[in-house]
Amino acid sequence: MKIMRIAILGFGSEGQAMLRALKRDPAYRSAEITILDRNKKAPIPKGVRAILGPGYLDKLSSFDIIFRTPGFPYMNAKLQAARRKGVEVSSVTRYFFERVPCPIIGVTGTKGKGTTTTLLCEILKRAGRGVYLAGNIGLPAVALLPRLRKNDLVILELSSFQLQDLDRSPRVAGVLDIFPDHQDAHRDMKEYVEAKSRVAKNQKPGDRVFFFADNGWSRWVAKFGKGKKIAVEPAKPSFISPSDMAMPGAHNFRNAVMASTIAASLGVSRETIRAAVRAFRGLEHRLELVREVGRIRFYNDSASTNPDTAAAACRSFEDPAVLIAGGKDKNLDYAPLAEALKSSAVEHVVLFGENREKIRRALAFVPIPLEFAASLEEAAESAYRAARLFSSQRSAVIFSPGAASFDMFKNYKDRGERFKKVVMR
């Protein structure tokens, strides 16, 4: 009898949870499992096969099934070559969808997924529902499988990478604002939004998809599938008002309106929704207030990895502000940031990182003083000096990079922690 050869592509938290799931699964218990990861120091358990380092993708065609983790692009050339040779290419996300015993509430969008899913989870918990949060914020979804029951709910963040080859859709889908992102990993915007559309494409009658009526891509993504289409209008909120928000920013209010609308559709009362929203302080690295020094407040928005989220951060403040931005480029256009700065309270910009010159060119016609910094530490010091010169009663330093973190840091969390350490000195 031929032994099935399985590869797990990527061995972060999702890959590790997938290994445990496969070892529990009777269908794969006798399979030969190999871990594939670019990281030579990946924490491989004793007795588990692994191919690590630069050549980790060289033998993909030798496997029967490959389970890719959420961070690995489905359209990778070597992965697609293996698929054409007959290798079954699956994913950790698909494995979860095929086995989950309860309804999934899936949320996608360019940014705001973590805030929206976490707030929705808090609302449903306050209402006494059995609910689990999975994804970048919660546990890996497959790690939840042993504890889930049919009356539970799972709230799941769904990125374009997770959705791209998914042949099932969640029972309830939320589509947040969508704008260009990950253009370094997707061939074009068309491929990006087509991947997003799978959140609704396989819905059945009785399923529901909520979308922002004023965002064209959100509307487009939601039009697919047989689920009921429900427009969400942040300008006409039914369950909460801006005064209920503890978090700054119009973009955060939009996400809270989405979470509250979905919760209301599940039978949660307006009183419970408002109480949960008022208690919710937001997430780490998302316009997180770090410290107040005299009249200057420092905000950590390291989760901002594209120009639109940096633009949203700039529009969130009325007091004079200094923006710190820059990082690893993702082949994105910084015109949205330039446009936001023209009408925002930002009065000074400090740029650092790999793409600082690109951002400078995009801001060339914005009448705001701009300077370069060689490091995050230098950027924070320069921003503080600039903010001290403002004559207003209160001002802000906003660290909203608008770019990826991998030029200097492990990830956006590492970058945010570094910023907080600098500010807290």
Q: Average pLDDT, stretch 260-269?
A: 98
Question: Residue 405 — pLDDT band, cuts 50, 70, 90?
Answer: very high
Residue 26 and residue 12 in one domain: yes
Domain finish residue from 223, 258, 279: 279
Q: Average pLDDT, stretch 61-68?
A: 98
Q: Average pLDDT, stretch 256-269?
A: 98
Question: Residue 181 — pLDDT band, cuts 50, 70, 90?
Answer: low
Q: What is the CATH classification number for the domain harbouring 170?
A: 3.40.1190.10
Residue 143 and residue 202 in one domain: yes
| Spatial separation of the C-alpha atoms in residues 158 and 134, rounded to whole Å | 10
Instruction: State yes or no: pLDDT of 182 exceeds 60.
Output: no
Residue 194 and residue 210 in one domain: yes
| Lateral strand order in the sheet of 321-325 | 288-293, 296-300, 395-399, 321-325, 346-351, 370-372
Instruction: State yes or no: pLDDT of 413 exceeds 80.
Output: yes
Q: Average pLDDT, stretch 353-381?
A: 97
Question: Residue 139 — pLDDT band, cuts 50, 70, 90?
Answer: confident
Domain finish residue from 254, 279, 304: 279
Question: Residue 279 — pLDDT band, cuts 50, 70, 90?
Answer: very high
Mean pLDDT of the chain: 94
Q: Average pLDDT, stretch 79-89?
A: 98
Residue 235 and residue 86 in one domain: no
Residue 14 and residue 79 in one domain: yes
Residue 293 and residue 397 in one domain: yes
Q: How many domains does the chain have?
A: 3
Kindly report, residue by residue over 93-135, the tens digit of the pLDDT.
999 999 999 999 999 998 899 999 999 999 999 999 999 999 8
Residue 112 and residue 228 in one domain: yes
| Spatial separation of the C-alpha atoms in residues 85 and 102, rounded to whole Å | 35
Domain finish residue from 94, 109, 140: 94
| Spatial separation of the C-alpha atoms in residues 381 and 413, rounded to whole Å | 20
Please enumerate in sequence order all residues whose Cβ is within 8 A of that of 342, keeping only pairs 6 or more positions apart, or say none. 366
Q: Average pLDDT, stretch 59-69?
A: 97
Instruction: State yes or no: pLDDT of 183 exceeds 60.
Output: no
pTM, two decimals, is 0.84
What pLDDT, on the 0 to 100 scale, is given for residue 2? 80
Residue 228 and residue 242 in one domain: yes
Residue 104 and residue 227 in one domain: yes
Residue 109 and residue 226 in one domain: yes
Instruction: State yes or no: pLDDT of 238 exceeds 60.
Output: yes
Kindly report, residue by residue over 147-172, the tens digit of the pLDDT.
999 999 999 999 999 999 999 999 99
State which amino acid sits at residue 83.
R
What pLDDT, on the 0 to 100 scale, is given for residue 1? 64
Which tokens is 44 given? 């491989």
| DSSP strands (E only) in 242-344 | 288-293, 296-300, 321-325
Residue 165 half-sphere exposure toward CB, CA atoms < 13 A: 21
What pLDDT, on the 0 to 100 scale, is given for residue 185? 60
Residue 205 and residue 242 in one domain: yes
Please enumerate in sequence order all residues whose Cβ is within 8 A of that of 359, keeping only pairs 6 or more positions apart, or say none. 325, 326, 334, 337, 351, 402, 403
Only one residue has tokens 């997924």, namely 113
What pLDDT, on the 0 to 100 scale, is given for residue 188? 82
Query: Domain containing 68: what range?
Result: 5-94
Residue 167 and residue 81 in one domain: no
